[in-house]
């Protein structure tokens, strides 16, 4: 009789597999911070707090979607904030030269796709390390953006589009930008968690050579992810520009660190092969809530960065801690093999 195959991760009860995860820990911590802030931080429950909070984290939420998939493959993209700045400048320059905002925004998205395609080609097909490539393109794209405008800024945008970037849904305090974010979040969730492409992303992160031998086109998968990162970063740049009504070469400087911190805080392994989008979204919201609450408490930005840095370190430590706790909890007993009756035994020598 064949003994059924068992896996250690499924030897735990379902509630342990669901609750004892980094993602669930971040979600619980986010809820706790929100409740504490509502009860103790002055004006946190004000009518405009939610609006400004979501507007502040919207670019990070958007860029974190493709960044999650990239880091799961074991790669990284440090050029995303520079693509935000470059697309911002492209939108401003084109609109300043007579193009409408929608046409200029479309061309900015195409530029973002080209930037992502360059990153993806050098990493996936040439075989260069993503850390080195995207550090280089970080400087390249930012240099082009600053070089095009210098110290100047384009601020004359059609009022209808700047109002749309800051508008809310009906009488609620939810910004309009949350609509495209929800659409993209659903799309990336389906892509990562419910498609063969997503399974390939995890396989590449676990072992890209083994993934190649199982039939996954590793190079094409990575290239597609970097193109998606470029397009979404450019979209974030268009939103960023219209929200503040200013196209500058230094827009979103340093945002790549906020995105990566949120992705890692949300449970994605920096070594690849592990992570879920709901944890990443919770990580972005957690950082945004902490920053908003501390700002209302008149805490300086430097102190806020220290607190978020310590939280990120604690989140990294939590993975082995949760694993240790899980090993101390009772597991399901493996299915026992039915004894073979003497009548069914095979005679010796047959």
3-state secondary structure of 175: strand
C-alpha atoms less than 13 angstroms from C-alpha of 10 in its C-beta half-sphere: 5
| Number of domains the chain contains | 1
Residue 262 belongs to some domain of the structure: yes
Tokens of 221: 């998968």
Residue 254 belongs to some domain of the structure: yes
pLDDT, residue 329, reads: 63
pLDDT tens by residue, 68-120: 999 999 999 999 999 999 999 999 999 999 999 999 999 999 999 999 999 99
Q: Which residue has the tokens 């597999």?
A: 17
Residue 345 belongs to some domain of the structure: no
pLDDT, residue 4, reads: 46
Residue 15 belongs to some domain of the structure: no
Chain mean position to CA 93: 29
pTM to 2 decimals? 0.86
Q: At 111, which CATH number? A: 1.10.3470
Report in angstroms the alpha-carbon separations of 312 from 250, 257, 285, 306: 26, 12, 14, 10
In angstroms, the CA 221 to CA 73 distance is 9
Residue 163 belongs to some domain of the structure: yes
pLDDT, residue 348, reads: 47
Q: How confident is the model at residue 202 (pLDDT cuts 50, 70, 90)?
A: very high
User: Cβ distance 119 to 133 under 8 Å?
Assistant: yes
In angstroms, the CA 338 to CA 301 distance is 65
Tokens of 67: 């960044």
pLDDT, residue 316, reads: 73
Residue 340 pLDDT greater than 60, yes or no: no
User: Cβ distance 191 to 171 under 8 Å?
Assistant: no
Residue 155 pLDDT greater than 80, yes or no: yes
pLDDT, residue 308, reads: 82
Q: Which is it for the CA torsion 299, 305, 311, 317, positive or negative?
A: negative
User: Cβ distance 294 to 303 under 8 Å?
Assistant: yes
pLDDT tens by residue, 8-45: 454 556 555 556 677 888 899 999 999 999 999 999 98
Phi, psi angle pair for 248, to nearest 5°: -135, 150
Which range marks the domain in which residue 154 is found? 21-321
Nearest to 62 by CA among 269, 334, 326, 258: 258
Residue 333 belongs to some domain of the structure: no
Least confident range from 169-178, 245-254, 311-320: namely: 311-320
pLDDT, residue 33, reads: 94
Structure-model confidence comparison of residues 36 and 151, the more confident one: 36
pLDDT tens by residue, 117-142: 999 999 999 999 999 999 999 999 99
Residue 338 belongs to some domain of the structure: no
Chain mean position to CA 140: 23
Residue 346 pLDDT greater than 80, yes or no: no
3-state secondary structure of 172: coil
In angstroms, the CA 88 to CA 252 distance is 9
Residue 7 belongs to some domain of the structure: no
């Amino acid at each position: 009789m064949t003994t059924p195959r068992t896996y250690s991760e499924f030897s735990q009860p379902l509630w342990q597999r669901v609750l004892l995860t980094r993602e669930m820990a971040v979600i619980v911590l986010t809820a706790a911070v929100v409740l504490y802030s509502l009860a103790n931080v002055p004006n946190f429950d004000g009518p405009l707090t939610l609006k400004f909070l979501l507007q502040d984290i919207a670019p990070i939420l958007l860029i974190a979607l493709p960044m999650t998939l990239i880091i799961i493959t074991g790669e990284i993209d440090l050029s995303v904030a520079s693509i935000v700045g470059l697309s911002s400048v492209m939108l401003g320059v084109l609109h300043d030269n007579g193009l409408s905002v929608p046409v200029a925004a479309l061309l900015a998205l195409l530029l973002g796709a080209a930037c992502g395609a360059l990153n993806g080609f050098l990493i996936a097909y040439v075989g260069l390390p993503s850390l080195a490539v995207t550090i280089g393109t970080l400087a390249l794209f930012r240099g082009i953006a600053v070089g095009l405008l210098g110290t100047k800024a384009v601020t004359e945008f059609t009022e209808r589009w700047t109002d749309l970037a800051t508008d809310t849904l009906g009488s609620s305090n939810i910004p309009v930008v949350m609509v495209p974010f929800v659409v993209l979040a659903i799309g990336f969730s389906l892509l990562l968690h419910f498609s063969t492409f997503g399974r390939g992303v995890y396989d590449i992160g676990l072992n890209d050579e083994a993934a190649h031998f199982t039939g996954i086109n590793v190079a094409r998968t990575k290239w597609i992810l970097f193109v998606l990162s470029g397009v979404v970063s450019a979209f974030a740049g268009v939103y960023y520009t219209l929200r503040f009504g200013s196209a500058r070469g230094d827009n979103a400087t340093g945002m790549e660190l906020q995105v990566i911190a949120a992705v890692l805080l949300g449970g994605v392994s920096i070594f690849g092969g592990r992570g879920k989008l709901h944890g990443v979204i919770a990580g972005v919201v957690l950082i945004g809530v902490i920053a908003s609450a501390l700002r209302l408490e008149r805490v300086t930005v430097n102190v806020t960065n220290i607190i978020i840095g310590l939280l990120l370190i604690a989140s990294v430590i939590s993975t082995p801690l949760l694993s240790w706790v899980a090993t101390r909890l009772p597991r399901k007993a493996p299915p026992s093999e039915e004894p073979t009756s003497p009548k069914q035994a095979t005679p010796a020598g047959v």
